[in-house]
Chain A
Amino acid sequence: MSAPPVAAPRRQSPAPPANHPQPRRPRLTGLWPYLLVAPTVVGAAYLLIYPLLRSVVISFQHFRTGELIRGGAAFVGLENYQEVLGSGEFWSVAGRTVLWTAVNVVLIMVISTLVALMIARLRRRLRLAVMSGLVLTWATPVLAATTIFQWLFQSRLGVVNWVLATLGFESFREYTWFADGASTFVILVLLVVWQSVPFAALTLYAGLTTIPTELYESARIDGATGRQIFRNVTFPILRPLFGLITSLEVIWVFKCFAQIWAISRGGPDGATTTLPVYAFQVAQSLHKYDLGAAISTLTVLILVAALITHLRRMLRHEGEQL
């Protein structure tokens, strides 16, 4: 999750260039532009569009170990989808994925907003320290973080159990977090929230700094409370930024794979199996590539359906800018 955001909000851009009147540019007619973008198009065609289409095609085929080795997969229509959608396991995984996404995204957005508002009120030196700390968290590679959290929550020597036991929660002495489904789920939520807050908080803080202080002052003169100011001044101005960050977090959390796979592989007893993990398990461990592909396709469809209105708005907005 250390990748920077995609189409970032333009509202607060400090330095984007003045719009140079474009038609004045010397035209470089002919094939040049197409030659220049050709490598990108070829790369995307082979490494993105083709795998995507291949995944959809496989989801309509009978594709098991035999077909993997010999080739010649036969089309079976919607059979895979019927099998997937007809199994109770799929629905419980889908429900768990929605829960996983909701819990994480709500926690991330609430904590990030509070942290951003807090940073804005800090004095310079403490603000710099907090922001550096957040950047340090952001910089922590996913796999380093999963390893660290396994160590923090280790049963006998883990520092978390020691702290909890010292504080008087004796039941946590040598508690084996990763043996229980619910507690593994909790640790994964803690991990993903810990990793995601820095980006969201720092971006929100950057947005906050663009709000003119006069707005706050006049609101305060009118006698508005802090809560009212947030609801009527801060939030409306930052609404596009909130929307953008929320949808990015939904995407990232929904399709999250590395953290879950590295820590629990979806276990124990499937308690942390979300859709991406489920698709991979079905394909790699059970060699049912066709069902795995169907689950992957459904995963993408669910994500697109959940975000379609926002994505449309965002892309339309980008389109206006071109």
Chain B
Amino acid sequence: MSPRRLPLTLAALSVLVVSVFPVYWMVLTAFKPTREIQADTPTFWPAHPTLEHFHTAVEADGFGLFWRNSLLVTASAVLGALVVALLAAFAVARLRWRGRRGFILMVFIAQMAPWEALLISMFIIARDTGMLDRLSMLSLIYFMTTLPFTIVTLRGFLAAIPPELEEAAMMDGAGRVTAFRRVVFPLLAPGLMATSLFGFITAWNEFAFANALIIKNQDDRTLPVWLSSFSNVFGTDWGATMAAATLFMLPVLLIFLVLQRRVTSGFTAGAIKG
């Protein structure tokens, strides 16, 4: 290595360490025996890895329940958004109609909606309609928070598929719906996949509404809210806390691994535009 590149390499390594260390420390702590966690001099390598903390986390009160709640809320929100967004994206990308421009602008603005500012009115609306402490209310909100982004992204993917393909199929006698299902849908599948995974991450992570709208019925909490109260659950058992955080992060990490190439090659920069 030439000495000129040394500062650059050092900078790169420090960025790498700063970005990776917290996550590494979480996983490491989750696998360390308690006496190593509490040692005066911390160790940076799992000398005696153990699954004990994962047992504690999984067997903690309600862990399975909250995991199920999170999954249920997230999956229903994402599927709903996907179906509704697909319809809207089709109308925007393929059809010409009065009000189309206004609709697209509305979607762009909705993407920037200040959701945190709606916590109070959402709480009151939920209370008035008997939706407080209900997972379905969270599903609806997550559906709406992910919908604008899903429409914009799907519109981009859809616009990238030449309409001539459908036209050819329709020329051959297929109806519009059949043409869409047989020709466009298979081409759109990767786009649907990527879009829904990002929606999944958004909903899986959501904390503010889950914290504000699930109050009395503690069985309806989701994982982020449960994790935020870790000191009530685990006290000072940092091993179990980190094991719980690791388990919470796991699905997101798997999704990012799947999407890694798209993310780093500028998925967000390119594919969104149509």
Chain A residues with a Cβ under 8 A of chain B: 2-10, 12-17, 20, 22-23, 25-28, 32-34, 36-37, 39-41, 43-44, 47-48, 50-52, 54-55, 58, 63, 68, 71, 115, 118-119, 121-122, 126-127, 129-149, 151-152, 154, 157, 159, 162, 194, 197-199, 202-203, 206-207, 251, 255-258, 261-262, 276, 279-280, 283-284, 289, 292-293, 296-297, 299-300, 303, 311, 315, 318-319, 322
Contact = CB atoms under 8 A, between A and B. Distances in A.
Interface residues of B, number: 113
Contacts of A126: 9, 12
Given A133-B20, A152-B25, A8 B269 contact: yes
B105 to A, nearest CB: 6
A141 B67 CA distance: 15
A162 B41 contact: yes
A157 B38 contact: yes
12 contacts: A5-B268, A27-B96, A40-B84, A43-B143, A47-B140, A147-B241, A151-B241, A258-B207, A258-B224, A262-B207, A293-B121, A297-B117
A136 B23 contact: yes
B230 interface: yes
Contact of A143 (B11, B95, B124, B205): B205
B8 A279 contact: no
Contacts, number: 329
Nearest to A3: B202
B248 A141 contact: yes
Interface string B1-23: 00000001101100110111011
Interface in B188-203: 198, 201-202
Q: Closest 6 CB pairs between A and B?
A: A206-B266, A55-B121, A36-B91, A33-B97, A139-B256, A47-B144
A50 B95 contact: no
B121 A52 contact: yes
B15 A133 contact: yes
A318 B122 contact: no
Interface in B220-237: 223-224, 227-228, 230
Given A47-B140, A132-B260, A203-B266, 16 more contacts: A2-B252, A14-B265, A23-B96, A48-B110, A121-B8, A127-B12, A140-B252, A143-B223, A143-B224, A145-B22, A147-B241, A147-B242, A148-B26, A157-B238, A276-B119, A322-B104
A279 B120 contact: yes
A202 B269 CA distance: 10
Interface in B113-159: 113-125, 127-128, 140-141, 143-144, 147, 149, 151-152, 156, 159
Contacts of B271: 13, 15-16
Nearest to A298: B117
A43 B274 contact: no
Contacts of A37: 87-88, 91-92, 103
A151 B29 contact: yes
Given A4-B198, A255-B114, A255-B116, A136 B20 contact: yes
Contacts of A27: 95-96
A179 to B, nearest CB: 15
Given A47-B143, A141-B248, A279-B120, A12 B96 contact: no
Contacts of A22: 96
B207 A261 contact: yes
Main secondary structure of the interface of B (DSSP, over half): helix
B269 A9 contact: yes
B272 A40 contact: no
B251 to A, nearest CB: 9
B260 A135 contact: yes
Given A115-B15, A118-B8, A40 B245 contact: no
Interface string B163-201: 100010010000010000000000000000000001001
A51 B264 contact: no
B119 A280 contact: yes
A34 B268 CA distance: 29
Contact of A194 (B18, B116, B224): B18
B84 to A, nearest CB: 4
Contacts of A131: 264
B228 to A, nearest CB: 4
B16 A130 contact: yes
B272 A8 contact: yes
A55 B88 contact: no
A13 B269 contact: yes
A148 to B, nearest CB: 5
Given A44-B106, A203-B269, A315-B108, A28 B176 contact: yes
Contacts of A121: 8
Contact of B26 (A41, A144, A322): A144
A152 B207 CA distance: 21
Interface core residue of A47, A199, A256 (most chain B CB under 10 Å) = A47
